[in-house]
Structure 1
Amino acid sequence: MAFAIKNLDHVVVCVADLERALTFYTQVLGCREERRVESIGLVQLRAGASMIDLMQTAMGPEEAEAIGGGHNMDHFAVRIEPFDPPAIRSHLESHGVDVGEVVERIGAEGKGPSLYIQDPDGNTVELKGPAVG
């Protein structure tokens, strides 16, 4: 094999309201804006060693529903540390984010705790803790 995948490089998330999405990803998840490409409505955010790219879409609710709710992916996972469920829950709820249950799931590092949340556009984000055992 000529190469090996090491980690998630980036994911592009289509959003209906770029400023609302920026607030969520920077203030709630702690990403940092790294670059804007105004010509295509793209903002690149640093998420640890990876990037989350937000792309403005002009799609309205009717068009989104016609293509399955407007989601261009099932979910993406970001590895977080520390994974302190009470602190995470408190932080997210203080921003009005509904928090799923902590469940053991398999990820890139192995089986470990994670929980699901949704961004303002309904995209599912998995917050993944370290592998255990």
Structure 2
Amino acid sequence: MQIKSIDHLVLTVADIEQTLAFYTRVLGFREETFGDNRKALCFGNQKINLHLKGQEIDPKAAYPTCGSADLCFIADTDVETVMQELKEKNIPVVAGIVDRTGAVGKIRSVYLRDPDNNLIEISNYVR
């Protein structure tokens, strides 16, 4: 077996509407409704399905909890502009522009937290 890519992942959240508002307003994701009125956040060819804490969809993680994710997103927007946009939207930055290593090379990253305190990394690959 060889895995090609990630299709979706799941975040367990305390408040689906608050999560949708944050990811659409701050990160520009698209809201999607699917299945039995379930909610997801879409970007590129991927999505994040949202489970409300205590009402998770089976099968689920063994210990679903809010705030346990550490996610890195690659942005088309340069991280300097990302920093400025976060400042304009009054979103606290956990760590400024720092050098890291991504899946296929060096990246420059900015860190913030979503409403559930998940760590969100927004990055650009260094060219």
Question: TM class, shorter-chain normalised?
Answer: 0.7 to 0.9
For residues 131 and 25 of structure 1, what CA distance do their matches in structure 2 show? 25
Partners of 2:99 and 2:107 within 8 A in 1 = yes
Correspondence for 1:64: none
Larger helix share, 1 or 2 = 1
Of 98, 105, 110, the match for 1:103: 98
Shift of 1:38: 4.3
Query: What CA deviation, in whole Å up to 9, does each residue of 1:15-73 have, x standing for no partner?
Result: 1111111000111100001233446xx411111122122221149xxxxxxx8x84333
Partners of 1:13 and 1:55 within 8 A in 2 = yes
Unaligned stretches of 5+ in structure 2? 56-62
- Matched to 1:78, the amino acid is F
Unaligned stretches of 5+ in structure 1? 60-66
Correspondence for 2:60: none
Query: What CA deviation, in whole Å up to 9, does each residue of 1:65-118 have, x standing for no partner?
Result: xx8x84333x01111112141x21221123221112111111112111011110
Correspondence for 2:107: 112
1:78 aligns with 2:73: yes
- Matched to 2:71, the amino acid is F
For residues 90 and 34 of structure 2, what CA distance do their matches in structure 1 show? 27
1:89 aligns with 2:83: yes
Secondary structure, aligned partner of 1:71: coil
Shift of 1:5: 3.3
For residues 37 and 52 of structure 1, what CA distance do their matches in structure 2 show? 14
Secondary structure, aligned partner of 2:33: strand
TM-score of the aligned structures, taking structure 1 as reference length? 0.75
TM-score of the aligned structures, taking structure 2 as reference length? 0.78
Give aligned pairs, total.
Answer: 118
Correspondence for 2:48: 52
User: Among the aligned pairs, what percent are the same residue?
Assistant: 31
Question: What is the RMSD computed on CA atoms of the aligned residues?
Answer: 2.3
Partners of 2:11 and 2:66 within 8 A in 1 = no
For residues 92 and 37 of structure 1, what CA distance do their matches in structure 2 show? 33
